[in-house]
Chains A and B, each alone.
Chain A
Amino acid sequence: MAIKLEKRPTSLKLLIYAFIVIWLIVAAFPFIWTVWGSFKVELDFFSISDWTNALTGERTKAEYGRPFTTTGYEGAWIENHFWRNSINTFIICFFVVCTSLTIGTLGGYALSRSSYQYTFWLLVIALIFRAMPPITLVAGYMLPFFEWNIWGILPTTIVVLVAINQPFTLWMLHSFFQNIPKELDESAKVDGCTQFEAFRFVIIPAMWPGVITTGLFSFLLAYNDFAVTSMLLAENNRTMVPAIAAFLGTTYTEGNIMFAVAAVVSTTIPLFLLVMFFQKQIVSGLTAGAVKG
């Protein structure tokens, strides 16, 4: 690699670094700007008269005596009970990740170990299911859920999110299991284990990297979902993302848009940490699907 770098003409190297810097600004600046602005008052964050106000916080100083204020956060978390939404989000994410990993590993393992043709068709059907926009499925849930009186509560949403997650989870775990040599569980079976025992005692200890990665993606899917959670949860059970959408409706008129800004920043922080600690797993997870395709 180092030798190749030296061979590049300086102009090309400059071009490469310029491009990277521009891309980094495009990718990261909006987030940095919003985090910074979330500690200002609205007139600073949206500064029509002088854009440097957003940096220095002139109006914030005039109002609160210092350039930073946490009014937005207080408004969102205390006044508008955003903490409740965050608890709901974490309940949903926890159960979605656990359930979809449990049933997904069983299915993904079987799909990777069976050599019959139907495994191929099952995977193709999963791909077709993966292509269905969630909102079209939500349209199908509404009437039966109202009829059975299970609309609006957390367990329903958890089960729905698990099911919507399954096609993706299956594909990912299937490709991870294919990388675990078949000889491993076959030798266990020769030693007298049943298929399930082979899975339980031989495969499970070897599969953690794949499971953690898949779990991360299940978490992201549940955490980031808007279409399902906003339609299937009653107002008092809302998770963070639909709560932010609801904020927008009220705050544009009431003029406390900073609540929404603070809520947005609060919701992004766990994702920031996730990317920071699990960068390798996210990258390997994204590529695991691609290697097969």
Chain B
Amino acid sequence: MRHSTFFWFVLPTASAMVLFIAFPIISVLLQSVHAPHPAVLVEVETCTPLVGCTVETTMDQDATKAIREAEPLGRFIGLEIFFDRGHLAVKEVGEIIRNSNSFNEAFSKLSNLPFYRALAFTLTFTFIVTPFVIIFGFLIAITVNAISSHLKGLVIFFSLLPFVVTQLIGALVLFWMIDSRGILGSAAQWLASDPNLSLKASTGVMWVSLIIYGIWHAAPFAFVIFYAGLQTLPQDQIEAAKIDGASRYQQTKYIIIPHLFPLITFVALIQLMDNFRVFEPIVGFNASAHAQSLSWFIFNDLGGETRQLSSAAASSVLTIIGVSILLFPVLFRTWRDFRERT
């Protein structure tokens, strides 16, 4: 295909991506180093006979409006927002490191800072959910592959539901069941004979529930991918292994898993990206008192009466840096493969 033809074919999609993905990233970068203009204050001296003069400070509405309209981005403040208490909290972290006696103490103090708390949950969620999704997806795939074929369609239908249904809705459906008044919540209270056991009261229980939700939601995705991979298993290799007396375990370990390995990397990559943006379940579980993620952190700044755009922008920049670090090994490998091929 000639360059010019290629250009015209790609133009609409490329311009959509540049305008609404690349530019917003730049816009976020710019916003994160600016803060809204403070109100312009004027001192007005009012003098009344006999009483004397008083000086009042009032906001100059027109001047404030004028300067805010002239520079909608606000004033340049450099990296101030990044280092403040709501984000990297450089000063607080320094104090914590200087004043803490043990690693544990420092860690628990760090987790009181909002950004680090959100980061801790996001990373925990990402790195626990991803491997479990792969393991469960694999188990479901090999068992579904083993059942009789006229049951498969039905099983696949029900298996797809947790993945296809809106994340917020899936989270709500589970939440209403594990809520202390829901069926699973009251069953858990009964089993533990602890009438006060409640999702809302315990950070630990909340984290575990969110992680279970994450696995429940994404396991079908891994299942479908692995199941498709199992359909293309090299049958001759399996036959040969059987003749050589390989057990089921050995067949799985030496033939099936190596055959699925590219798919496992694919699922891991997609899951790392998707779990890092975990957000809807926190809204659905009403979990923000116990667990916040980076995405929720941004959402919270953006919403509400006071839209704190600069703060949200700074958190977004930090999140984008996090995504880049996660993605770097994959991109590096792709680049190396590409270099070797050409």
Residues of A participating in the B interface, judged by any CB pair closer than 8 Å: 1, 5, 8, 12, 16-17, 19-20, 23-24, 26-28, 30-31, 33-34, 37, 45-48, 51, 54, 102-104, 106-107, 109-111, 113-117, 120, 122, 124, 126-144, 147, 159-160, 162-164, 166-167, 169-170, 195-196, 199, 220, 223-224, 226-227, 230-231, 241, 244-245, 248, 252, 260-261, 264, 267-268, 271-272, 274-276, 279, 282-283, 286-287, 289-290, 293
Contacts and interface: CB of A to CB of B under 8 A. Distances in A.
A137 B224 contact: no
Closest 4 CB pairs of A and B: A140-B24, A163-B20, A110-B9, A107-B13
8 contacts: A30-B177, A47-B181, A130-B273, A132-B25, A133-B323, A147-B72, A162-B16, A286-B228
Contact of B12 (A107, A111, A131, A139): A107
Given A113-B1, A279-B157, A136 B19 contact: no
B127 interface: no
B16 A51 contact: no
A231 B28 contact: no
Interface in B120-172: 139-140, 143-144, 146-149, 153, 155-162, 164-170, 172
B312 interface: yes
B250 interface: no
B181 to A, nearest CB: 4
Contact of B179 (A23, A30, A33, A46): A46
Residue among B5, B21, B23 with most chain A CB within 10 A: B21
A120 B335 CA distance: 10
Given A135-B279, A293-B266, A27 B161 contact: yes
B307 A166 contact: no
Interface residues of B, number: 104
A261 B80 CA distance: 44
Contacts of B165: 31, 224, 268, 271
Contact of B168 (A124, A199, A226): A226
B299 A227 contact: yes
A160 B334 CA distance: 29
Contacts of A230: 303
Contact of A140 (B161, B262, B313, B342): B313
B162 A274 contact: no
Contacts of B262: 293
Nearest to A288: B228
B208 interface: no
Contacts of B295: 133, 135-136, 227
B147 A31 contact: no
Interface in B196-217: 216
B27 interface: yes
B164 A20 contact: no
A12 B302 CA distance: 53
Nearest to A50: B186
B40 interface: no
Contacts of B292: none
Interface in B212-247: 216, 220-221, 224-225, 227-229
Contacts of B228: 283, 286-287, 290
A282 B160 contact: yes
A137 to B, nearest CB: 4
B337 to A, nearest CB: 10
A140 B298 contact: no
A5 B320 CA distance: 49
